[in-house]
Amino acid sequence: MEGEPRFEGHSRSILQTLQDQGIDPWDVWVQYIGLTGRLDEIDVEGFLYGLMPLPDLERMLLMESVHELLTGRQ
């Protein structure tokens, strides 16, 4: 959407995919922590709901977590 921060649109599509697959944001956070993520659950949910950006490294770890959860369900 025009005018929204770049991460907001991206995070919305991720959240929609998670919801479509029945994956809870908490599960994403648990997977993310397992990949050495350093942010707490509130920060991760804040990103997924489009409320805040994440540092590049943490965002990459989060994306890997989402990928692992999605591929594990196929």
Residue 65: count other Cβ atoms within 10 Å of its Cβ: 21
- Give the helix/strand (H/E) hosting 42: helix 41-48
Question: pLDDT tens, 5-51?
Answer: 566 677 888 999 999 999 999 999 999 999 999 999 999 999 999 88
* pLDDT score of 28: 96
The residues, any chain, with a CB within 8 Å of residue 53's CB and separated by 6 or more, are 5, 7, 47, 59
Dmax (CA) for the chain in angstroms is: 35
**pTM here?**
0.83
